[in-house]
Amino acid sequence: MGLFTKKRRDAKWIKPKDTIQAIVPFIMPKRTDAEVSSTVDIDITKLVEFVDKQNEKDLGYKMTYFHALSSCFAKTVFNRPALNRFVKNKRLYERNKITFAFIAKDKLSDSGEERIICIDIDPKDNVMTYSKKVAVDVFKVRKEGSNEMDGILSFFTSLPKLILSIIVRIVMFMDNHGISPKALTEGDTNYATILLSNLGSIKTNSVYHHLNEYGTNSVVITIGTIREEKGKKIVDITATLDERIADGFYFAKSIQLAEYIAKNPELLLENFQTKVEIEDKIK
């Protein structure tokens, strides 16, 4: 790890598959230059039934539709590893682990404080172990009122404006060259594989959400309110992605896979790393 090497602590360098993928980061050096966004409706009728059935059992916590839907995305990432990549300093990398992040309010009001939640996903996780992790972490953060990243941000934002500006420039430089200390990256949503925003919790539709230059996050997904159409449960999701990590066909197939898993929720009881073959099942 250093200024003049491809090595990073959090990822491995990936050789571009072709000349186009190699040159694009030079043509579009910023992540925000390479954003693509798509909104799709997903039929989650069977997923809702699956969650309701699980909650009839004595789980010790409540599994939510958000837990189950984000589990679909987790299984998709393990099946579509290019989604776990990012471009930094014009180089393509694949993370050493898969992390999901989202923001949880301690109460659903304008005055509610936002708390950062980051979940490392184990290949052997399934919807049951993952949903419990999320439930426990959300409860813990809401009870304690903060986590380590909240404390770090509070310290920095308490500094005078000039000093903070200098520190931010230094941190941005370290981030670009892959030399940021672990204390600044662990638990930061900007370094997550996917940043999720559950807008259904505030009864609104999914929206386009921009990517950031800081960090390594290349995929943001917002989830809208579940609605009923012709007897089916439908939810809209909007995904924003950095097209430098893979082509449009790859992204389209990834969304199709997530939808297929949502329609076949029994697949979520398998380990997330278990392969799902869909070539002969979707077009």
Question: What is the tens place of the pLDDT at every residue in 146-178?
Answer: 556 666 777 888 889 999 999 999 999 999 989
The tokens 């009923």 sit on which residue? 228
Q: Is residue 278 part of a domain?
A: no
Cα–Cα nearest to 223, from 72, 55, 34, 46? 72
Q: Is 175 among the domain residues?
A: no
Average pLDDT over residues 71-85: 97
Residue 4 lies in a domain: no
What pairs with residue 198 in β-bridges? 223
**Domain at 70, CATH number:** 3.30.559.10
| Residue bearing the bigger pLDDT, 42 or 159 | 42
> Would you say residue 282 has pLDDT above 60?
no
- CA angle (150 as vertex; 147, 156 as ends), nearest 5: 145
Q: 187's torsion region: left (phi>0), alpha (psi -120 to 50) or beta?
A: left
Q: What is the pTM of this model?
A: 0.89
pLDDT band for position 114 (50/70/90)? low
CB 172 within 8 A of CB 211: no
Q: Per the domain annotation, does 275 fall within a domain?
A: no
Q: Tell me which of 131-145, 181-195, 254-268 is least confident.
A: 131-145
Mean pLDDT over 9-19 rounds to 92
Give the pLDDT confidence of 99-109 residue by residue, as tens digits: 999 977 555 44
User: How many domains does the chain fold into?
Assistant: 1
CA atoms of 194 and 220, how far apart (whole Å): 6
Q: Is residue 172 part of a domain?
A: no
- For residue 35, being part of any structural domain is answered with yes
Q: Using DSSP, state whether 21 is helix, strand or coil.
A: helix
Domain span holding position 66: 11-145+188-262
Mean pLDDT taken over the chain: 89
Q: What beta strand segments (E) does the chain contain?
A: 11-13, 35-43, 85-88, 91-95, 98-105, 114-121, 194-198, 219-223, 227-229, 232-242
